Chain A
Amino acid sequence: MTRSRIALAWLPLHLFLIIAVCSRQLLWLIANGLTIIPFSGADVSAQTAKDISTTAGPKRTRAAKEALFAYLHSAGIEGAYGFFAPNVPENFKLAFEFRNADGSVEYDLPNVESRAAGLRLGSLLDKIGRSDSEQYRRILIRMLTSVAWENHPAAVSVHAVFGKLKLPSPVDYERGVRPAYEFIGAYDFERSADSNAR
């Protein structure tokens, strides 16, 4: 009986959190003009982001927010369910150009062993590509570069190029347009001081 009462009290709260997280994501998409609904409310989305921040506020409030976030993550309900929605995201790619001391050049890509890990690598590149923070993007690209560098011990510098794949529509494809990579940014790292990113 007690268990049933606890379950009855928990369920509405749990469902409320699931719906709240999904609704927040939906409103964020609408506010940022990513849907067919004509609405622009960047201030609203900024305010929402500020509201959920756990880095500020009174200690008690912060503890409550931390507990809430821990619950959301533990239950797997911290994110919304917009898979390939509202639109299919761009596909991003990172390529390396390793330069040896003798002037020769070697090309490489970030790689993994299995297809399953390949999907995860693709997810990482998507996160890098979608990030608004140039600093965050640079940090992650530097990490990926330093891993790839291990396969090129003779290289003294590397030129990392980050780009996105522009996909044609079916009509354009029939006209002969093919998927093509579009330049987003380039990053140069030196062997001695690889923090000198351009």
Chain B
Amino acid sequence: MVERLFPSCSDRWLSILRVGLALQLILYALSIRADWRYLLAGTGRGLVSRDLAEALLSLESAIIPRLGWIVAVGKRIGFSEATVLDLTWYGLALVSLFLLGGLFCRPAAIAAWFLHLCCVKGGGLVTYGVDALTTIGLFYLMLSPLPDRLSLDHLWHKKLSNPQSLGFWRRVLQLHLCVIYFFSGLIKALGGDWWNGINLWRALIRPPFDLIPADVLIRFKYIFPIAGIAIFLLEIGYSCFIWQRQTRQSWLIAILLMHLGIGLSMGMYLFAAVMIVLNLAAFGPGILWRENRPADAESCEAASLA
């Protein structure tokens, strides 16, 4: 059991997670740059009040990180709310760049998690699935044994993490993904309209995901029931077949193609990107390409055993 939870592995997956999430955060920040203040401003200054979202959040817990904390600190220093929101955007972009290069990996990962979480909770009324999945990724990244060998930190310090510790955090991410897909697939299977393909059709013609004209989609109407069933079977089966030697490669490729398809056909680029990053980090090394065990990883393992 312990061996299964602490498998020795290289830090390739951690590099993918770090770089992937850094790019994800940069894209997130850039994609809503023009609307940043508008989405996150307090009462009377934005699309919908951040204060209301945070008041609702306080009903659950007063200690959940939120943008209001940063705004309050900024106001004490003498900054306006707009200035604090702008500084938060620049801060998020900056820590994402640090994370991308692998400079001050751990503090950058913690800061990225905190700033992103604050923005997500502050904009609680205008969030969707991609935000929770990015939080999950950043939470594990923050706790994982950084730095990895592709980071600038490693170039300077040459300090490597314990391979068992790397294996443990990769295993946590893998197990979490299995739970996500299992429940996502199961709940879909319990919705009657996934069996006849109507839900897939509705998802594709529903604004704002209707990138492909319905007149084009209707030509493929016979494929919808098959595709609908395939989607939930793929998701439910993920937690089982991703571990089998014979099926894991095809299952992972199928899941990656599914997310690519969602991204391209529905315009959910960020959602597709974060799922692809999490999947590649969790299962890519060793399945899609051979996982090299460099000499220094082995020496590190030997050192840890010693």
Contact = CB atoms under 8 A, between A and B. Distances in A.
User: Do A and B make up one complex?
Assistant: yes
Interface of A: 3-4, 7-8, 11, 14-15, 18-19, 22, 25-26, 29-30, 34-37, 54-55, 65-70, 73-88, 91, 110, 112-124, 127, 139-140, 143-144, 146-147, 165, 167, 169-170, 173-174, 179
Interface in B50-74: 52, 57, 59-65
A73 B61 contact: yes
A170 B34 contact: no
Nearest to B201: A170
B62 A75 contact: no
Residue of B61, B181, B202 ringed by the most chain A CB atoms within 10 A: B61
Contacts of B184: 81-83, 85
Given A19-B179, A88-B206, A119 B172 contact: no
Contact of B139 (A8, A36, A74, A169): A74
Nearest to A36: B192
Nearest to B65: A74
A197 B175 CA distance: 49
Interface of B, secondary structure class, is: helix
B82 interface: no
A147 B46 contact: yes
A12 B129 CA distance: 24
B186 A26 contact: yes
B34 to A, nearest CB: 4
B250 interface: no
Given A69-B61, A167-B205, 17 more contacts: A14-B172, A18-B179, A73-B57, A73-B65, A85-B190, A87-B199, A88-B202, A116-B35, A119-B128, A119-B267, A120-B127, A124-B47, A143-B47, A169-B201, A170-B224, A174-B218, A179-B205
A73 B64 contact: yes
Contacts of A174: 218, 221
Contacts of B202: 87-88, 167
Contacts of B31: 114-117
A74 B34 contact: no
Contacts of B138: 76
A87 B240 CA distance: 24
Contact of A11 (B5, B65, B190): B5
B302 interface: no
6 residue pairs, one from A and one from B, having the closest CB atoms: A86-B191, A76-B135, A116-B31, A113-B34, A35-B190, A117-B35
Given A4-B164, A73-B117, A84 B203 contact: yes
Interface stretch (B16-24, B90-98, B118-126): B118-126
Contact of A83 (B47, B60, B129): B129
Contacts of A146: 44
Residue of B128, B136, B268 ringed by the most chain A CB atoms within 10 A: B128
Contact of A84 (B38, B47, B188, B218): B188
Nearest to B198: A169
Nearest to A171: B221
Contacts of A26: 183, 186-187, 190
Residue of A18, A22, A86, A114 ringed by the most chain B CB atoms within 10 A: A86
A123 B126 CA distance: 6
B61 A29 contact: no
A18 B208 contact: no
B193 interface: yes
B136 A76 contact: yes
B75 interface: no
Interface in B205-238: 205-208, 214, 218, 221, 224
Residue of B138, B165, B187 ringed by the most chain A CB atoms within 10 A: B187
Interface string B161-192: 00011001000100110011101101110111
B49 interface: yes
Given A18-B179, A113-B35, A54 B47 contact: no
B296 to A, nearest CB: 21
A173 B216 CA distance: 12
Nearest to B131: A76
B253 interface: no
A67 B199 contact: no
B194 interface: yes
